[in-house]
Amino acid sequence: MPSGGDRTDRKVYPNAELDRRLREAAADLDSYEATARALIAELDAEGYDLEISDPTQRRKPVAESTATGPRSIEDQFRAEVDAIELHDREQEADLARRIEFARWRLDVALEAEGIDPEELDGGSHRPPMPGVHETCVFPATVCRRWMELHAMRNEMVERNLYLALINVERYAHTRIGRMDLIQEGSSALFRAVDGFDWRRGLLFRTYAVHWLNQAFRSHLYNFGNTVRLPVYLQKAMKHVHSAVERLGNPKASVEQIAEEADLKTNIVESALGATRSTQSIDAALGGDGDGPSLQDLIPRDEEEGDPYDPTMEEFSVADGVEMALDRLSDRERLVVTKRFGLMGEKEHTLAEIAGELGVSLERIRQIQVRSMAKMATPKLRKAIDPFLMQ
């Protein structure tokens, strides 16, 4: 069905009037929700839509750059964010109440149409945009209410994008690209908008900073290393480094560090092993980027050309699998290799293996379970952990 944006005969309820009535209702918080929902019923009965602010009206002209060369994407983004006018405390509270009101009104429309809210929030559909005439799979009223809410959320996020630029500076020393962090922070602002409660009397920025820092840290934990490390291990690395500094001995033993950091020795060992950095064989070794690369220093067969060889790895997945299979009997090894397609075999079903060995399917399942238990040793886990996604 066509979205609400396709109608031209709608009656629009001005934001100024809506803000006035919600502000009056907010004087009594105990009855606020009931008053607001009565207003929703009134607007629905009279066929009013909510006003959608023009984004261009909240932007100042972008100053012309005096730089002679092309500006980076970050510089352009900063210039656009600087051009967005900020709200004062009262205007921010008005917008927050308006967002809550629009969300309640959308819920009413969804209930009237018998639509599960998760179809909007968790589905693959995107909210219609003002002025864009595109097909919407939901009834026109739902599309309009969804568009109104999304436009108001966008406004709150846009007016607070400067927070992402300010707080990203704390993470400027990391290897993650600044624009990647800014993008994560911008997404986190939407989560902050959805959780913000204007009744507490806080400024939105006070609440949003928590979500920004959480988003930045989460991105660093997940993408800060060439090989992804589990979050628990990255946190352990911080405690280990702090313990080493307190001990004043870079060569302190694992036991000393574990005692100082109040961690188990196996965690300390894993953390110390994870601190090893990675280096691309194509990267220049010189500080100016013009020196020889690592691959230039690796002896190689000129006929093969590629300097990399699996033997350069300290430990391979194949080594770990072979170590595990060595713990099995011949029959167990046969079942596991065929079942999971190891050692050049293709994957087989339990029924196929049972038919080949002339035993029952249940017997093959028992062999598989027993084999997996025998292979699940701490030594094997430690060996293959670096190759597993946590």
The CATH number assigned to the domain holding 347 equals 1.10.10.10
Phi, psi (5° rounding) for residue 2? -70, 150
Check whether residue 352 and residue 209 sit in a common domain.
Answer: no
Check whether residue 155 and residue 168 sit in a common domain.
Answer: no
Residue 260: inside a domain: yes
Check whether residue 168 and residue 142 sit in a common domain.
Answer: no
Residue 62: inside a domain: no
The domain boundary residue, chosen from 159, 174, 198:
159
Residue 36: inside a domain: yes
What's the pLDDT score for residue 278? 56
CB atoms within 10 A of CB 243: 20
Residue 86: inside a domain: yes
Check whether residue 44 and residue 86 sit in a common domain.
Answer: yes
Check whether residue 30 and residue 111 sit in a common domain.
Answer: yes
Check whether residue 101 and residue 36 sit in a common domain.
Answer: yes
Q: Give this prediction's pTM.
A: 0.59
Parallel, antiparallel, or unpaired for β 11-13 and 48-50?
parallel
Tokens of 123: 């589905």
Check whether residue 10 and residue 107 sit in a common domain.
Answer: yes
Residue 311: inside a domain: no
CA distance 239 to 264: 12
Check whether residue 148 and residue 199 sit in a common domain.
Answer: no
Check whether residue 25 and residue 85 sit in a common domain.
Answer: yes
Q: How far is CA 80 from CA 74, 182, 184, 204, 317, in A?
A: 10, 14, 18, 21, 48
SS3 breakdown of the chain: % helix, strand, coil, rounded to 5? 60, 5, 35
Question: pLDDT digit of tens for each residue in the chain (390 aa)?
Answer: 334 444 556 799 999 999 999 999 999 999 999 999 999 999 999 999 999 998 888 888 766 555 555 677 888 888 899 999 999 999 999 999 999 999 999 999 999 999 888 877 655 566 777 655 456 778 889 999 999 999 999 999 999 999 999 988 887 777 677 888 888 889 999 999 999 999 998 899 999 999 998 888 887 776 665 555 666 766 777 788 888 888 888 788 888 888 888 888 888 887 777 665 555 556 655 544 556 666 666 655 555 555 555 555 555 566 667 777 788 888 888 998 888 888 778 888 888 898 888 889 889 889 988 888 877 766 566 555 554 443
Domain count, the chain: 4
SS3 269: helix
CA distance 238 to 251: 17
DSSP character at residue 63: P
What's the pLDDT score for residue 258? 86
The domain boundary residue, chosen from 201, 224, 247:
224
Residue 15: inside a domain: yes
Residue 306: inside a domain: no
What's the pLDDT score for residue 282? 62
Helix (H) or strand (E) holding 363: helix 361-375
Check whether residue 128 and residue 38 sit in a common domain.
Answer: yes
Q: Which domain holds residue 283?
A: 238-293
Residue 216: inside a domain: yes
CB contact set of 7 (below 8 Å; sequence gap of 6+)? 140, 144
Check whether residue 14 and residue 150 sit in a common domain.
Answer: yes
Q: How far is CA 65 from CA 56, 80, 86, 165, in A?
A: 20, 12, 22, 19
The domain boundary residue, chosen from 134, 159, 184:
159
Check whether residue 42 and residue 94 sit in a common domain.
Answer: yes
